[in-house]
Amino acid sequence: MKKLLTQGKLSLIIIFLVLVIDQLIKIAVKTNMYFHESIRVTDWCYIYFTENNGMAFGMEIFGKLFLTTFRIVAVAAIIYYLHKMIKRGTMKTGFIVCLSLILAGAAGNIIDSVFYGMIFSESTPFQLAQFVPWGEGYTSLFHGRVVDMFYFPIIDTYWPDWMPLVGGNRFIFFSPIFNFADAAISCGIIALLLFYSNYLNQHSSTQSTDKNEKAA
């Protein structure tokens, strides 16, 4: 009896849901919150609207065009590998789920980088962003900024005065501000490392052995 939900269909559903949820959250935040506006949910949970030019969790590395191009190339590589693994049918479903989460998260941030600068007006502390006609946005194609909003300062305190170098300075545990796409990427990578690193190594070793046997 055939499975009702194949690995390919499951992968497509995960990618679709992550992309839709990610974009709905980003659009809602961007069009309803002022830049750097903060909404307190609890003492350790805030919706804080910011944007970044860099990679996940607001890291700023290399130039904007390079990062956008790198994201696109990385997503293309993941799509190729994911399709290859699904077609072979030799990988566990959980592994496919992890790859799908990483792919969807990366694609979600690509949408911001490529298109948001063309379709949104500038977000400022005094003016809400709005949809604008194509090409009349705040920047050019491939130079859009990624929208971030989740901020979890689980511990917000100060270092003791007696500590050298950092004494009296503010300490925040988990200060990065991130989005739903970043969370999908992180969950996918962490799950891969925790549950599938050994499995992946075994699978690679088996493939290498099969290739060597065929060559012989």
The full set of domain ranges for the chain reads 7-211
Core vs surface per residue 46-66: b (16+ CB within 10 A) or e: bbbbbbbbebbbbeeeeebee
Helix, strand, coil percent content, the chain, rounded in steps of 5: 55, 15, 30
List, in sequence order, every beta strand (DSSP E) within the chain: 38-42, 45-52, 146-151, 155-158, 170-173, 177-178
**Token pair listed for 46:** 């805030």
d(CA 33, CA 125): 9
CB 48 within 8 A of CB 149: yes
Residue 172 confidence (pLDDT): 86
Question: Tens place of pLDDT for every residue, the chain, 216 residues?
Answer: 456 689 999 999 999 999 999 999 999 999 999 999 999 999 899 999 999 876 554 455 556 778 888 889 999 999 999 999 999 888 899 999 999 999 999 999 999 999 999 999 999 999 999 999 999 999 999 999 999 999 999 988 888 888 888 888 988 888 899 999 999 999 999 999 999 887 666 665 555 545 545 555
Three-state DSSP state, 158: strand
d(CA 30, CA 37): 10
Torsion sign (Cα): 189, 192, 198, 203: negative
- Residues with a known catalytic role: 148, 182
- Letter for the amino acid at 23? Q
How far from the centroid of its chain's Cα atoms is residue 100's Cα? 12
Q: Which residue has the tokens 């600068």?
A: 117
Torsion sign (Cα): 99, 103, 106, 108: negative
Rounded to two decimals, the pTM is 0.85
Residue 56 confidence (pLDDT): 52
